[in-house]
A and B are shown apart, each in its own frame.
Chain A
Amino acid sequence: MSAKDLSLTFTTNDGPVHALSQVDLEIGRGEFVSFIGPSGCGKTTFLRVIADLEQPTGGTITVNGMTPEQARLKRAYGYVFQAAALYPWRTIEKNVALPLEIMGFDKKEQSERVERTLALVNLTGFEQKYPWQLSGGMQQRASIARALSFDADLLLMDEPFGALDEIVRDHLNEQLLHLWESTNKTICFVTHSIPEAVYLSTKIVVMSPRPGRVTDVIDSTLPKERPLDIRESKEFLDIAQRVRDGLRAGHAYEV
């Protein structure tokens, strides 16, 4: 994926808001990229531009060599929202099958894929439950399964664990890394947690607000195999420090 001079301006009653300004970024296949920055820095907007949920007002962006709209029409990505956004009238199984129904997979393949992706997120046995019967972490896992079920190469995740407590979040981060290793997908991950970004990513994009722009792009030197206690290592803390510096350079800490 590649973005050149990308910008997006919202027109509001209080005048134009520059959500994104002159963003240049290259993301390779199989990378795990985190977007980090304070609220209003345009990280979610950037993800929504990739997903063709927002239209850029300037510059160009290509996803797998296509425009975002072509990529969306080809169902090239799965999107995980801040909330699980499961349909309450569907069981977990039916929620995961929703994209498959829409994309016209046959019944047999649907149930195979549902079974496989639910196993991938450790939700086997919860097929017949309704969303309200599951905890927040399990709901978010179900929504990840839903995004994985149709095997898009690209996974876009917008603060998927933002609403969960730290213990659940650690656990899901570990699971997500395993998932990424075993499926070889490209993942774009929006977060405002520095440890989460450093722990998960091969590339960290530091953004700053007003106007939303990229202040630093850090390639992680951490190995691919990452136990949770890698977060105590010197290398990890160095990268976290560089992220913090990048945020400071973008005036993220000024109120």
Chain B
Amino acid sequence: MSAGTSKFGNAFLPVTSILLVLLLLWYVFAYVMNAPFQRELDQRAGENPSFSELVIKTWSQPKPTMPAPHQVAQRLWKTVFGVKPWSKRSLVYHSGVTLSSTLLGFLMGTGLGLIIAIGIVYIPVLEKSFLPWIIASQTIPILAIAPMIIVVLASINITGILPKALISTYLSFFPVAVGMVKGLRSPEAMHLDLMRTYSASNAQIFWKLRIPASVPFFFTSIKVAIAASLVGAIVGELPTGAVAGIGSRLLAGSYYSQTIDIWAALIAGSILAMLLIAAVSMAQSFTARMMGAQP
């Protein structure tokens, strides 16, 4: 058996056991949360169901307080595979909308973060003057600032993907800036002295030493940044009453008490986040292999 499959084989049992325990707990909670309302309904209808009948009813309400896992799974299946991907009812369509502004915001945030990091590493005075502002920017709750960004930009006729992407940028530049300051400063004194003995130019030191040395820091940073971008994009869809996107599904679901819809959208968002992080991880291990990292 190769190393890869044995690693998977070792993890399979523990992971599935935890998953089963979680599912079981979910069903128990679904019963506990939905039972009072169900009893009320039954009382009004003059019915007196047995315990097992009551349990089954709590797991199949149309608008439950807490939907059961199979209800969410069915809704997810129906809205992902049961409708055309470009239809407004499809979660694939809404995920795509959120994904596009996530990626745009992530790219802008990574770019901005890199520029800030390079500035701080090469212009020491920026560390004292500029860095405190960057840290302060992250202490402001995004929920407070997101509507303002959207409203201000809308008033100067900037609407659509850009305002949402800017909120992603706002969240994602920070981990990249902080991580890359550390990464660009990570070369050992001896590696820097070596460059000096060759009387290398600053540009050569940057491209041949600082950038390659910072690559591990870069990937760690963008893993955080891409997850933050997704959160930013979803948050950006909430205050606008956006017509599309995972955020708009969450909002619509809560307007109409469609709890199953909310949970399905939530899970779609989680899957999207996992796919994004998996993509970054793959890029990371590919780059590490290209750079001759010790396996």
Indicate, yes or no, whether A interacts with B.
yes
Binding site for B on A (CB under 8 A): 51-53, 72-73, 75, 77-79, 81-83, 85, 87-91, 98-99, 101-103, 130, 132
Pick the contact of B199 from A75, A89, A130 — CB < 8 Å?
A75
User: Is the beta-carbon distance between A89 and B291 smaller than 8 angstroms?
Assistant: yes
A88–B215 CA distance with the chains assembled, in angstroms:
12
User: Is the beta-carbon distance between A130 and B200 smaller than 8 angstroms?
Assistant: no
Pick the contact of A98 from B193, B199, B208, B215 — CB < 8 Å?
B208
User: Is the beta-carbon distance between B190 and A101 smaller than 8 angstroms?
Assistant: no
Pick the contact of A132 from B198, B215, B294 — CB < 8 Å?
B294
Besides the known contacts A79-B193, A101-B208, 16 further A-B residue pairs in the complex with CB atoms under 8 A apart: A53-B193, A53-B197, A72-B196, A73-B199, A75-B198, A78-B197, A79-B194, A81-B193, A85-B194, A87-B208, A89-B291, A89-B292, A98-B208, A99-B198, A102-B198, A102-B204
Q: Does B53 contact A (CB under 8 A)?
A: no
Q: Which residues of B contact A90 (CB under 8 A)?
A: 292
State how many angstroms separate the Cβ of B204 from the closest Cβ of chain A. 5
A78–B196 CA distance with the chains assembled, in angstroms:
11
Q: Does B212 contact A (CB under 8 A)?
A: yes
A91–B291 CA distance with the chains assembled, in angstroms:
9
User: Is the beta-carbon distance between A87 and B190 smaller than 8 angstroms?
Assistant: no
Q: Which residues of A contact B208 (CB under 8 A)?
A: 87, 98, 101-102
How would residues 162 to 188 of chain B score, 1 for a CB under 8 Å from any chain A CB and 0 otherwise?
000000000000000000000000001
User: Is the beta-carbon distance between A81 and B198 smaller than 8 angstroms?
Assistant: no
User: Is the beta-carbon distance between A87 and B209 smaller than 8 angstroms?
Assistant: yes
State how many angstroms separate the Cβ of B148 from the closest Cβ of chain A. 44
Size bracket of the B interface: 20 to 34
Q: Does B88 contact A (CB under 8 A)?
A: no
Q: Which residues of B contact A91 (CB under 8 A)?
A: 292
Given contacts A72-B199, A102-B204, contact A89 B194 (CB under 8 A): no
A53–B193 CA distance with the chains assembled, in angstroms:
7
Number of A-B contacts (CB under 8 A): 51
User: Is the beta-carbon distance between B197 and A72 smaller than 8 angstroms?
Assistant: yes
Q: Which residues of B contact A53 (CB under 8 A)?
A: 193, 196-197
Can you give 23 A-B contacts (C-beta < 8 A)? A52-B196, A53-B193, A53-B197, A72-B197, A73-B199, A75-B198, A77-B197, A79-B194, A79-B197, A81-B194, A85-B188, A85-B190, A87-B191, A87-B208, A87-B209, A89-B291, A89-B293, A90-B292, A99-B198, A101-B208, A102-B200, A102-B204, A132-B294
A47–B5 CA distance with the chains assembled, in angstroms:
53
Q: Which residues of A contact B190 (CB under 8 A)?
A: 81-83, 85
A88–B190 CA distance with the chains assembled, in angstroms:
13
Given contacts A91-B292, A98-B208, A130-B292, contact A85 B191 (CB under 8 A): yes
A98–B208 CA distance with the chains assembled, in angstroms:
9
Q: Which residues of A contact B293 (CB under 8 A)?
A: 88-89
Q: Most chain-A Cβ atoms within 10 A of its Cβ — which of B193, B197, B204, B215?
A: B197
State how many angstroms separate the Cβ of A112 from the closest Cβ of chain B. 19
A154–B88 CA distance with the chains assembled, in angstroms:
74
Residue of B nearest to A48 (CB): B193
A108–B97 CA distance with the chains assembled, in angstroms:
51
Docked complex: B264-295 residues within 8 A CB-CB of A: 291-294
A242–B194 CA distance with the chains assembled, in angstroms:
35
State how many angstroms separate the Cβ of A154 from the closest Cβ of chain B. 11
A79–B292 CA distance with the chains assembled, in angstroms:
25
Q: Which residues of B contact A77 (CB under 8 A)?
A: 197
A101–B201 CA distance with the chains assembled, in angstroms:
12
Given contacts A72-B196, A72-B197, A81-B193, contact A87 B212 (CB under 8 A): yes
A132–B293 CA distance with the chains assembled, in angstroms:
9
How would residues 74 to 96 of chain B score, 1 for a CB under 8 Å from any chain A CB and 0 otherwise?
00000000000000000000000
Residue of B nearest to A152 (CB): B197
Q: Which residues of A contact B193 (CB under 8 A)?
A: 53, 79, 81
Residue of B nearest to A69 (CB): B199
Q: Which residues of B contact A99 (CB under 8 A)?
A: 198
A72–B194 CA distance with the chains assembled, in angstroms:
11
Residue of B nearest to A147 (CB): B197
Q: Which residues of A contact B294 (CB under 8 A)?
A: 130, 132
Q: Which residues of B contact A132 (CB under 8 A)?
A: 294
Q: Most chain-B Cβ atoms within 10 A of its Cβ — which of A53, A73, A89?
A: A89
Q: Which residues of B contact A130 (CB under 8 A)?
A: 292, 294
User: Is the beta-carbon distance between B188 and A103 smaller than 8 angstroms?
Assistant: no
State how many angstroms separate the Cβ of B206 from the closest Cβ of chain A. 12
Pick the contact of A103 from B198, B209, B212, B215 — CB < 8 Å?
B198
State how many angstroms separate the Cβ of B182 from the closest Cβ of chain A. 18
A220–B127 CA distance with the chains assembled, in angstroms:
54
